[in-house]
Chain A
Amino acid sequence: AQSVTQLDSQVPVFEEAPVELRCNYSSSVSVYLFWYVQYPNQGLQLLLKYLSGSTLVESINGFEAEFNKSQTSFHLRKPSVHISDTAEYFCAVRFRKETSGSRLTFGEGTQLTVNP
Chain B
Amino acid sequence: SAVISQKPSRDICQRGTSLTIQCQVDSQVTMMFWYRQQPGQSLTLIATANQGSEATYESGFVIDKFPISRPNLTFSTLTVSNMSPEDSSIYLCSVGLLLYNEQFFGPGTRLTVL
Q: Which residues of A contact B (CB under 8 A)?
A: 32, 34, 36, 42-46, 49, 51, 90, 101-104, 106-109
Contacts and interface: CB of A to CB of B under 8 A. Distances in A.
B92 interface: yes
A6 to B, nearest CB: 8
What's the dominant secondary structure at chain B's contact region? strand
B102 interface: yes
Interface of B: 31, 33, 41-45, 48, 56, 92, 94, 96, 98, 101-108
Contacts of B103: 46, 102, 104
A65 to B, nearest CB: 14
Contact of B106 (A43, A90, A106): A43
B105 A43 contact: yes
A88 to B, nearest CB: 9
Given A43-B92, A44-B92, A102-B96, A107 B42 contact: yes
A73 to B, nearest CB: 18
Contacts of A46: 102-104
Contacts of B31: 101-102
Contacts of B42: 90, 106-109
